[in-house]
Each structure stands twice: as structure tokens, then as C-alpha cells.
Amino acid sequence: MFKKLIVFLITAALLLTIAVASYAQVINYIFNGSFEQLIDGSPANWVTHSYDKSSDAAVFKVETDNPQLGEKYATITNNVPNDSRYIQTVLVEENKKYKLSCYIKTENVSEEGNGANLSIAGQQVTSKKIKGTTDDWEYVELYTVIESGVETMKVTVGVGGYGALSTGKASFDNVLMEEVETIPEGAPCAIIKPTENESKDNKDNNSDNSSNNSSSKKDESKTELGKVVWVVLILAAIVVGVAVFNTYKSANNPSGNSGNASNKIDSNKSSDIKDDNDN
């Protein structure tokens, strides 16, 4: 029973360490990437934009039928050739690489234009362009390289593109952005450069805020990792304590048995002496 308890505790500690450590290492820089949180019916932390802003030219909705993740997802329907997008501004760190991904499904998206895609505002490079009608959710990726002086970028999911307008309906879910060390060869990649109106003074004034946000995210990761360490230490202390107690108990039992045997021998000797005296 004791051995089974030790094995169970060690296994639980290892599984917990792996699970939480893995979570701590992966940070999604996108907030509300699955469009679950709404404010007045619209996805929190996302804004919408359309090139053609006329009435009913583009319809933005949150739907619940067959989501890829969670219970909701965002949709865009371009009733006329248009470039329509959900946009989120994200803090980034200069000289870093990021991987963007999401799931897209389409209905009657025109072959003209950029179709449904994942992109960065102001960039021509996009993820795979999804057109026509898909049977199910399709996974797409886009990588970015952040140059010096860049503090934010705008992540977009939409239908169409700059000078590449499209019609049709597209749905988007599970938008993820994570830091990576390398970029696969041949993968779509956008190089994010500082905009012309970004001066050195603005960079200096805002660098502290960017550093604080980056540090905050790293601190959250360290906090999660710290929790793991404490849990493992507590479990290890329990295992060691039980092991020491069991060792101590095992060590005392032989001497106890030896004492009993000695007492038994002394008792037998006393009986023999008594018998001799009687004779």
C-alpha cells in the first residue's frame, strides 16, 4: 500500500508539473480570440472596418451554430465587393517573431479578391486565402517578424483585402497569436516595420509601457511556474515524510522482535534453573 501511495503521488506531481508548465510557456497575445465575450452584442476587444460603408454592404455578426471552439464565432458577410474586417490591436516586442493562426469556414466567397483570410493591417501578405464554400473549418497560419521600433500591430480576420475586394460570407474562430523562435521555410510571413509617423521620441515615451506589459505577461508565466514548484515541493515533502516514517518503523520492528526473542530465551533459562533446583 505504501509503495502504491508513493507511485501515485510522484505520478500526480509529474503530470501537474507538465500540464501547468506547458500552459505557462504558451501565451496567447490575442484577447477574446474565440469571440466568447461580447459587449452590446459585439466581440469584446475587436473593432470592425469596411471599405464600403454603405448600408448592408457588410454584415458583422456573432453566431453559435457549430463553433470550432467554445460556443460562439464571428462572421462577416460582404453583400457587395468589399474589404471587411475584425481588427484587434496587439502589443508586441521588437525583434521578436510571432505565429498567428485561426480557423475559417466560408459560404459562396467569390474567386475574385483575397477571399477570407488572416492578416496584419497594412500588410499585403496574408494567410491562405479561403474561397468558395468549405465543408468545415479550415486552419490557416501567418507569421510575423517585428523590427526595431515597433510596439503594436493590428491583427485582422476578414473577407477581401486592399485592392482585392471579395463577396460572400466567412466565419472565424479560435484566433491565436504566440511567440516563436523560428519560422518554417515557405510559410507566409509579414515583416512589420515602424510606420513613418513613429518618431524616436514616441518610442522612448512608450517603451516603458510596452516593457511593463511584456514584463507583466512574463511575470504571469513565472507566477504559474512558481505555483507548480510549490505544489511539487509540498508533494515531495509528503512523500519524503512518509518514506522516513516507514523506514523508521521498519528499522524498529526487527529490534523489537529481537527483544521479544531475548525475553523468551531468558524466560526459558529461568524455567530450566527452577527445574534443576527442584531436583
The predicted-structure confidence for 171-220, as pLDDT tens digits, reads as follows 999 999 999 999 999 999 999 999 865 544 444 444 444 444 444 444 45
The yes-or-no verdict on residue 132 having pLDDT over 50 is yes
Beta strands in the chain (DSSP E): 38-39, 42-43, 47-50, 58-63, 73-82, 84-91, 97-107, 116-120, 138-146, 152-159, 166-180, 189-192
> Which secondary structure element, helix H or strand E, spans residue 226, and what is its range?
helix 200-278
Residue 209: Cβ within 10 Å count: 11
Which residue's entry shows cell 465587393?
A: 81
Q: Give the contacts of 12 (CB within 8 A, at least 6 positions apart).
A: 235
CA 200/CA 66 separation, integer angstroms:
47
Written as nine digits, the cell of 7 is: 507511485
Tell me the average pLDDT across 151-163.
97
Per-residue pLDDT tens over the stretch 80-92: 999 999 999 999 9
Whether pTM > 0.85 for this model: the answer is: no
Which strands form 152-159's sheet, in the order they lie side by side?
A: 47-50, 84-91, 152-159, 116-120
